[in-house]
Amino acid sequence: MASLQYNPADLEAYGCNTTEATELRLVRPNASLGASTRYVEFNPEFTYPIFGEQEIAFGYKDLAIQLYYASGSLATYFHLDYAEKFQGVASSSSEAEPLAADDIEGKLREFIPHDYMTNYDRFLEKVKEDEASFRPLGEKVHEYSLNDGKDQFEIYKSSFSSEKFRTYHERMQLFMLLYVEGSSYIDSEDDKWSIYTIFKREDAADVTSYHFVGYATLYPFFCWPDKIRMRISQFLILPPFQSHGHGSILYSTLYKESMARNDVVEMNVEDPNDNFADLRDKNDMRMLIDADAFKGLKAPVSDEFVDMARKKYKLTKRQMQRCIEIYLLQHLDKRKASDYKSYRLQVKTRLYKFNLDALRDMEANERLEKLQETYKGVEEDYHRIIELI
């Protein structure tokens, strides 16, 4: 048996949190004098899909995992920066592997294209080249402006039938793992996917450049007998561009695309997180209000109306019920006891049906208490959403 050749307490200094250590940059040439480039830097939300549940890399002090991207083409540069690397020693057990620093590059290579650069000067040359030559792939389906018209953006629709886009998607898909909980890579061999990308367009005197903002993916599912349901599978706006309205504009674009297709009966969402659920509720409500979908509506609302409305506006039944309930609450005078009671009964009836398996085995009093507790939470959440509309 090998003798213990290290002090376990000393090894703690070589453990680094990979989420904190990962530096993401979108890099572009600097139009003004001085530095050759400018960039925005941000960190991942999490890195467990790459480095494991603990998000720890062993073997480095002051680790920086540098993943830099040309802001339009997403040409990639990778570099590890650290103050000291663990050199490795024999294990205290003859059956255990010798201790060594983690192979961070090897782990990343499982998730990023292998054409990344490790020479920073070459990367800067590529950034400069791509500033003038890169153009978004696919069909432009929407354009919009923000900041009083000063900033221009374009949305493109693509599919994996394009080999060039498949290569581009391989560069951008890592962002989804780093920001969307539970996300995984989609099958780029399946041509049924529709991918919508957002780019900021900048027009200078001598060059027009495009800069990546975010993207969403949709997949069609068969709906008997001859229609399809479109499902939003992935949806991401990169952190530097969040809270500016891009998410709402992208979602509305996806919805309008589905509404315009006769073969689409519904647009739904795959496992939305809380932030996306809010975005969806807010934009669905704005759309339905603008369309006067619920004008004059009061509780109780019939199942026939719900069914008619969900088909007309291509939303799921549950989402349409939520939107109706939000609208009714928004226009409810709680001082009118009978109206408030009708509203509560409508919401509780839906909640009872939705949670039937959990409620059916409860005693009557317990069931009523649980329904009331759930209702209160729903009403509070609806008031929060109304503030967003």
With a CB cutoff of 8 Å and minimum separation 6, the contacts of 264 are 220, 227, 228, 229, 230, 258, 314
Q: From the centroid of its chain, how far is CA 84?
A: 35
Q: Is 248 annotated as a binding residue?
A: yes
User: Alpha-carbon distance 168 to 290, whole Å?
Assistant: 37
Please report the DSSP string for 127-193 in residue order.
Answer: HHHHHHH----SEEEEEEEETTTTEEEEEEEE-TTSHHHHHHHHHHHHHHHHHSTT-----TT-TT-
User: Alpha-carbon distance 248 to 251, whole Å?
Assistant: 5
Q: Is 243 annotated as a binding residue?
A: yes
Q: Is 43 annotated as a binding residue?
A: no
Catalytic residue from among 270, 366, 369, 373: 270
Task: Count the neighbouring beta carbons within 10 Å of the beta carbon of residue 202.
Answer: 16
| DSSP for residue 46 | -
User: Alpha-carbon distance 86 to 5, whole Å?
Assistant: 13
Backbone angles phi, psi at 303, to 5 degrees: -60, -30
Contact between 18 and 51 under an 8 Å Cβ cutoff? The reply is yes
Q: Is 268 annotated as a binding residue?
A: no
Q: Is 236 annotated as a binding residue?
A: yes
**DSSP run (H or E) holding 320:** helix 317-330
SS3 358: helix
Q: Is 246 annotated as a binding residue?
A: yes
Find tokens 């589905």 and name the residue: 258
- CA within 13 Å, CB half, 214: 21
Q: Please indicate whether residue 202 is annotated as part of the active site.
A: no
Q: Is 237 annotated as a binding residue?
A: yes
List, as residue ranges, the binding site for acetyl-CoA. Answer: 235-237, 242-248, 273
Residues carrying an active site annotation: 270
